[in-house]
Amino acid sequence: MTGTEISTGTRSPLWRNVRVIRVALQVMAVVVVFGAIWILGTNLRDELIAKNLPTGFDFLNQPTGVTIADSSFKPSSPVWAALIAGMKNTFALTIVGIPLVTILGTLIGVARLSTNWLVAKAAAVYVETIRNIPPLLIILFVFNVVILPLPAPNDPATPLDWFVISNLKIVGPGFTSSPGAGILLIIVILALVAAVIVGRWRTRYSDQTGEHHHRMLWGLGVFAAIVLVGYVVTGRPVAFSLPVLEGRVITGGFGGLGSYFAVLAALVIYTASHVAEIIRGSILAVPRGQTEAANAIALTGFQRLRFVILPQAFRFALPPMINQYLNFTKNTSLAIAIGFAEITLVTFQLIGNGFPAPQLILLLMGAYLLFTLTISLIANVINRRLQLVTNR
């Protein structure tokens, strides 16, 4: 298009002037798009007014009247608090699910390339089966066929006395915290920072002197020492706790609703099949010469994978992996089918109880955008760090 901008001395007429056309086209685009938004928007507003429905967001402060399982949410709390409670549940699925998906997916992806015929075939069957089944169906299956047949909550299983398992709730060992816990958390974060600094220093030291850095050992040592001292100083605010069953109330321990585990397990199983394909593709994308070079310096199979192949493969894998993380986050919305109260279900509940749908759906979309944009942001930072490593 720039090729037509050759100056010919004579001025071309207005309608053939490329600059004019460009400006006109853009103005047209703006007018069309915003005009359409404006028309649809006023339409929406008029319809809402005509139907005597609220047009603004004032309803966010009204009490909902609904309850949400396994949360401190009260029926008298306002709508926005219900949405926050829903987002917390979505977050609880995402934060646990993404690491699990990464681990399981990587294992299966590596297994698909195993020299062991049986292992490779088993992984291949897993991937080819699971990734061609709708995730919603897997969620329904896990919930109905795995979780619901567990013992009913009035007679839960208590294996080893460490777990309390029923189809309503699954609780395992966890920690209980007392007031000093907040300070300890800050200390842990500081210890983490200190450990990273020490690790950096060891790396530099190693670069300069050529001695082995032992940065993991140093880092962990510093971290453990600081945390231990902090733990004692703050008066042991965190204690290991086992779930205790009194009647129907489970105290202590760490766990969640059966429907939470159903969604988590189903989505991890589903997404891992996609991650496995990405990992496999990325490993195959590492040039053969790298393997040969690793063999030439007599690395063992594990060392080759750990130090040569996987680091490079992860770099290829990261962008599509981010996509899978986003898919995982978005698929948590399917929990609505089995009644786990994440943000979509809460929105659905609110719409059903007479709060205006258009506004709520807009907020729901905003909530998901917040999640996906945050993940993209974090992933982009990591991606850039990885790129830097290769350029060095």
Partner 1 sequence: MKRIAILAVAFALVLAACNGNSDATTTVPSGTDDTPPPAAMGDLLQTVIDRGSVICGVNEAVPGFGYTDADGNFSGFDIDYCRAVAAAVFGDAEAVTYRALTAQQRFTALQSGEIDVLIRNTTFTASRDGREGATFLTTTFYDGQGMMVRSDSGITSIDDMANLSVCVLSGTTTELNLAARFGDTPFTPLTFDNNDQLQAAFVAGQCDGWTSDKSQLAGVRTNFPESEGGPEALTILDETFSKEPLGPVVADGDSQWAQVVNWVVLATIQGEEWGLTSANVKDYDGDNNEIRRFLGLEVTTDEGTAVFDPGLGLPTDFAVQVISQVGNYGEIFDRNVGPSTPLGLQRGFNAQWTDGGLLYAPPYR
Partner 2 sequence: MTTTTIPPSPKAPLHRPVSPSVWMKQNLFSTWYNSLLTVIFGVLIASVIVALIRYLVSIDTEIIRVNLKLYMTGRFPAEQLWRLWAGVFVTTAGVGLFARAIVRTAQMKATTAGLEFDRSTPWDIVRRFWPIGALVVFTLSFTQTITPSLLTLAAAAIGLAAYWLGGGLPAWIIRRSWLIPLVGTTAFYFVLVGYGGVGWDLWQGFFVNIVITIAGISLAFPLGIMLALGRRSSLPVVRYLSVTYIEILRGVPMITLLLFGAFALGFVIPGDVQFSLFLRLLVAITLFQSAYIAEVVRGGLQSVPRGQVEAGQSIGLSPWKTTRYIVLPQALRNMIPALVGQFISLYKDTTLVFIVGLLDLLRAAQVSTAQPEFFAQGLESVVLPFVALYFWAGSYVMSRESRRLERKLGVGVR
- Using CB under 8 A, list all residues that contact partner 1: 37, 41, 45, 47, 49-58, 65-70, 75, 144, 148-149, 152-154, 167-168, 247-249, 258-259, 336-339, 341, 345, 348-349, 351-354, 357, 359, 362, 366, 369, 373, 376-377, 380
> Judged by CB, which is closer to partner 1: 230, or 253?
253
Tell me the residue type at 214: H
Query: In whole angstroms, what is the distance from residue 111 CA to residue 119 CA?
Result: 6
Residue 134 interacts with partner 2 (CB under 8 A): yes or no: yes
Q: Which of 197, 224, 373, 381 binds partner 2 (CB under 8 A)?
A: 373
Q: How far is the CB of 39 from partner 2 (least distance, A)?
A: 7
For the residues of 180-195, what is the DSSP string, one character each? THHHHHHHHHHHHHHH
C-alpha pair distances (Å), 360 with each of 46, 67, 80: 18, 18, 10
Residue 224 interacts with partner 2 (CB under 8 A): yes or no: no
Tell me the residue type at 103: I
Residues in contact with partner 2, shown as a per-residue x/- string from 141 to 170 under the rule CB under 8 A: x--xx---x---------------------
| 309 secondary structure, DSSP code | I
Query: In whole angstroms, what is the distance from residue 264 CA to residue 92 CA?
Result: 9
Q: Which of 16, 19, 38, 39 binds partner 2 (CB under 8 A)?
A: 39
Q: What residues does 174 pair with on adjacent strands?
A: 241
> Judged by CB, which is closer to partner 1: 18, or 362?
362
Residues in contact with partner 2, shown as a per-residue x/- string from 80 to 119 under the rule CB under 8 A: ----------------------------------xxxxxx
Q: How far is the CB of 388 from partner 1 (least distance, A)?
A: 15
For the residues of 160-187, what is the DSSP string, one character each? GGT-EE-SSEEEE-EEEE-TTHHHHHHH
> Judged by CB, which is closer to partner 2: 55, or 177?
55
Query: In whole angstroms, what is the distance from residue 278 CA to residue 297 CA?
Result: 28
Strand, helix or coil for residue 75: coil
Retrieve residue 26's tokens: 């853009």
Task: Kindly state the number of chain residues that form the binding site for partner 2, as judged by CB under 8 A.
Answer: 56
Strand, helix or coil for residue 344: helix
Cα Rg of the chain (Å, integer): 28
Helix (H) or strand (E) holding 270: helix 258-285
Residue 284 interacts with partner 2 (CB under 8 A): yes or no: no
Kindly tell me the sign of the dihedral angle through the C-alpha atoms of 276, 293, 290, 103.
positive
Q: How far is the CB of 174 from partner 2 (least distance, A)?
A: 30
Retrieve residue 147's tokens: 């979780």
Q: Which residues contact partner 2 (rule: CB under 8 A)?
A: 1-3, 22, 25-26, 29-30, 33, 39-40, 43-44, 47-48, 114-119, 122, 128-129, 131-137, 140-141, 144-145, 149, 326, 330-331, 333-334, 336-337, 344, 347-348, 351, 357-358, 361, 364-365, 368-369, 372-373
